[in-house]
């Protein structure tokens, strides 16, 4: 169970000013982080391509797993660029983010727009939808038709959330500016520009190495990375004592600290995921580069146990599906059914 903050100890509204001191990116550090992410990824992909081309498809598939890890880390670079947190110059952030977006199959400007909405509305029950995992309240689920309840149960099934769903989003949905189609030419330029870059890159890949590297290396590593990314995003906000409030009671900093987890991963996974597990700090101050988030926890140890989840504890979050406004926590479908039987009796 995630540990909850201790109220006045945190001084919720003062954290933004406290954390502002960590917001300034170091260009050399950022370039170094980009290099130590890209170079291993290229080397692993190259080794996997050689293996696939030599008939060792099983080895290529094995190498797709570490390649996926570095793709996740590369997405964290794109993520920080989207917050203008990776480089000092906004234009450099944007162009690096756009180029990286071709490798991650994520149209940078479209994603950045939706992600900004996520940060501005996270935990607000009256502004659910954009850039978030769909979450129904107990009352909404109770009032829904059987068909809608079935659809929601299917949507929240682990295979849909963490296998089929991520593949659909990254391979299909993000090829069009879904949700942004009426916002002018910019989302279309972002999506179509990324698609063009993808088409050119994949054509070159097949021309150089044939179809095997595409099937046994590139696509599997992207699919695995997509599932990992969705899992991380899920546990960052979908834990038992997360934060949801109606518009009148919703407060941005409180939603950031209490509605975003500190996913306390082992050191290797922490590095590979760009410290994105320190998500509560990130939501309070999104301009902090990912390589400074651990420094924040070192300097302010009172933040370590705020909404903390261990790797083992996070597995339980998969079964939490409905927000119970009465108890102020996420509950499972089984808990809902037991409560309904008690009411009926």
Q: How confident is residue 157, by pLDDT bands cut at 50, 70 and 90?
A: very high
Q: How confident is the model at residue 343 (pLDDT cuts 50, 70, 90)?
A: confident
Residues 6+ apart with CB under 8 A from 26: 289
- Pairwise CA distance, residues 197 & 105, whole Å: 9
221 close to 64: Cβ distance less than 8 angstroms: yes
Residue 19, pLDDT > 80, answer yes
Residue showing tokens 């797993």: 65
Cα separation of 268 and 326, whole Å? 39
pLDDT bracket for residue 6 (50, 70, 90):
very low
Closest CA to 274 of 59, 103, 18, 33: 33
Q: What pLDDT score does 8 carry? A: 32
Quick one: average pLDDT of 83-89? 97
pLDDT 10s digits, 210-245: 888 888 888 999 999 999 999 999 999 999 999 999
Sheet arrangement for strand 320-324 = 136-137, 320-324, 329-332
Mean pLDDT of 272-281: 97
Residue 293: alpha-carbon gap to chain centroid: 16
Q: Is the pLDDT of residue 163 over 50?
A: yes
The C-alpha atoms of residue 306 and residue 284 are separated, in whole angstroms, by: 13
Contact between 171 and 194 (Cβ < 8 Å): no
- Beta-carbon contacts of 335 under 8 Å, excluding residues fewer than 6 positions away, are none
Length in residues, the chain: 345
pLDDT in tens, 105-114: 999 999 999 9
- 134 is written with which tokens? 């769909």
Q: How confident is the model at residue 53 (pLDDT cuts 50, 70, 90)?
A: confident
Average pLDDT over residues 139-162: 96
Specify the pLDDT at position 1. Answer: 47
Contact at 8 Å (CB) between 205 and 213? yes
Strand 320-324 versus strand 136-137 pairing type: parallel
Taking the C-alpha atoms of residue 97 and residue 112, their distance in angstroms, rounded to an integer, is: 9
Separation in Å, CA 270 to CA 3, 69, 246, 316: 19, 11, 33, 20
**For 139-166, what is the mean pLDDT?**
96
pLDDT in the model for residue 7: 41
CA separation for the pair 99, 77 (Å, rounded)? 11
């Amino acid at each position: 169970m995630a540990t909850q903050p201790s109220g006045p100890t945190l001084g919720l509204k003062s954290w933004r000013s406290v954390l502002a001191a960590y917001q300034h990116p170091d260009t050399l550090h950022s370039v170094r982080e980009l290099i130590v992410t890209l170079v291993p990824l290229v080397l692993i992909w190259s080794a996997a391509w050689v293996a696939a081309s030599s008939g060792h498809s099983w080895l290529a598939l094995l190498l797709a797993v570490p390649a996926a890890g570095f793709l996740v880390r590369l997405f964290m670079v794109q993520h920080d660029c989207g917050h203008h947190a990776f480089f000092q110059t906004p234009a450099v952030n944007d162009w690096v983010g756009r180029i990286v977006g071709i490798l991650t199959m994520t149209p940078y400007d479209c994603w950045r727009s939706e992600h900004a909405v996520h940060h501005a509305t996270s935990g607000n029950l009256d502004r659910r939808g954009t850039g978030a995992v769909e979450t129904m309240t107990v009352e909404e689920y109770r009032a829904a038709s059987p068909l809608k309840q079935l659809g929601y149960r299917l949507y929240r099934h682990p295979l849909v959330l963490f296998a089929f769903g991520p593949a659909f989003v990254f391979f299909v949905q993000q090829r069009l500016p879904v949700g942004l189609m009426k916002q002018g030419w910019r989302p279309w330029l972002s999506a179509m520009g990324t698609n063009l870059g993808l088409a050119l890159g994949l054509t070159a890949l097949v021309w150089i190495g044939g179809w095997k590297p595409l099937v046994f290396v590139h696509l599997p590593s992207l699919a695995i990375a997509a599932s990992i990314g969705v899992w991380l995003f899920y546990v960052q906000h979908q834990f038992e004592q997360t934060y949801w409030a109606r518009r009148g009671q919703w407060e941005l900093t409180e939603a950031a600290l209490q509605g975003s987890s500190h996913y306390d991963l082992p050191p290797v996974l922490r590095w590979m995921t760009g410290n994105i597990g320190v998500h509560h700090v990130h939501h309070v101050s999104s301009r902090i580069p990912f390589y400074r988030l651990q420094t924040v926890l070192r300097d302010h140890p009172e933040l370590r146990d705020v909404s903390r989840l261990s790797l083992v504890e996070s597995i339980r979050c998969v079964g939490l599906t409905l927000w119970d406004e009465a108890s102020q926590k996420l509950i499972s479908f089984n808990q809902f059914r037991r409560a309904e039987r008690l009411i009926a009796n």
